Structure 1
Amino acid sequence: MRLDVGSVPPAHVDSVPRALVALSFVGNLERWEMSQQHHHEKAQLLYTVRGIINCEVDDGVWIVPPQCAVWIPGGLPHTVFGSSDVECCCIFIDPRAAENLPLECCTIAVSSLLRQLLIRATELPEAYSVEGRDGRLVSVLLDELAASPVEDLRFPVPADPRLKKLAELLLSDPADCATLAEWASRIALSERSLSRMLKDEIGMSFGRWRRQLHVILAIQRLTAGEAVQTIALDLGYESASSFVTMFRKALGKPPGRYLLNRQKRA
Structure 2
Amino acid sequence: MRHHRLDLHDPLMAKDADVFPRAVVAVGATSASDTWEHAQHAHRKGQLMYTLRGVIHCEIEAGIWIVPPQCALWIPGGTCHAARGSGEAEVYCLLIDPDAACALPPQCCTLAVSGLLHELISKAVSFPQLYDEAGAQGRLINTLLDELAAAPIEALHLPMPRDPRLRRLADSLLAEPADKATLGQWAVRIGMSERSMTRLLLEELGLSFGRWRRQLHVILSLQRLAKGQSVQAVALDLGYENASGFITMFRKAVGQPPARYLAERAGVLSATSQTIALKDAR
| Same-fold status (TM-score > 0.5) | yes
Secondary structure at the counterpart of residue 136 of structure 1: helix
Q: Which residue in 1 is equivalent to 2:278?
A: none
Of residues 153, 161, 164 in structure 1, which corresponds to 2:164?
Answer: 161
1:13 aligns with 2:17: yes
1:1-266 paired onto structure 2 within 5 Å: 1-4=2-5, 5-7=7-9, 9-27=13-31, 28=33, 32-34=37-39, 37-97=40-100, 100-221=103-224, 227-255=230-258, 258=261
Closer, same or farther: CA 194–44 of 1 in aligned 2, 3 Å: same
Aligned mates of 1:31, 1:249 — CA distance in 2: 31
For structure 1, the 5+ residue unaligned runs are none
Number of paired residues?
Answer: 264
The answer to whether the 8 A contact 1:7-1:32 is kept is no
Aligned mates of 1:226, 1:210 — CA distance in 2: 21
Q: In structure 1, give the amino acid aligned to 2:44.
A: E
Q: What is the TM-score of this pair, normalised by structure 2?
A: 0.81
How far off is 1:118 after superposition? 2.1
How far off is 1:58 after superposition? 0.9
Aligned mates of 2:46, 2:186 — CA distance in 1: 37
The answer to whether the 8 A contact 1:118-1:141 is kept is yes
Secondary structure at the counterpart of residue 126 of structure 2: coil
Mean CA deviation greater in 213-222 or 70-79: 213-222
How far off is 1:233 after superposition? 2.1
Closer, same or farther: CA 98–157 of 1 in aligned 2, 3 Å: closer
Secondary structure at the counterpart of residue 66 of structure 2: strand
Describe the superposition over 1:201-255 as per-residue Cα deviations: whole angstroms up to 9, x where unpaired: 1122111110111123334455677544333222211122222332333344544
How far off is 1:152 after superposition? 1.4
Closer, same or farther: CA 54–192 of 1 in aligned 2, 3 Å: same
Q: In structure 1, give the amino acid aligned to 2:46.
A: A
Aligned mates of 1:68, 1:223 — CA distance in 2: 13
The answer to whether the 8 A contact 1:33-1:81 is kept is yes
The answer to whether the 8 A contact 2:55-2:223 is kept is yes
How far off is 1:172 after superposition? 2.0
Aligned mates of 1:98, 1:40 — CA distance in 2: 13
How far off is 1:20 after superposition? 0.2
The answer to whether the 8 A contact 1:66-1:220 is kept is no
The answer to whether the 8 A contact 1:98-1:143 is kept is no
For structure 2, the 5+ residue unaligned runs are 270-282
How far off is 1:19 after superposition? 1.0
Q: What is the TM-score of this pair, normalised by structure 1?
A: 0.85
Secondary structure at the counterpart of residue 127 of structure 1: coil
Q: In structure 2, give the amino acid aligned to 1:156.
A: P
How far off is 1:83 after superposition? 4.1
Aligned mates of 2:129, 2:263 — CA distance in 1: 37
Secondary structure at the counterpart of residue 122 of structure 1: helix
Aligned mates of 2:88, 2:175 — CA distance in 1: 19
Aligned mates of 2:238, 2:174 — CA distance in 1: 11
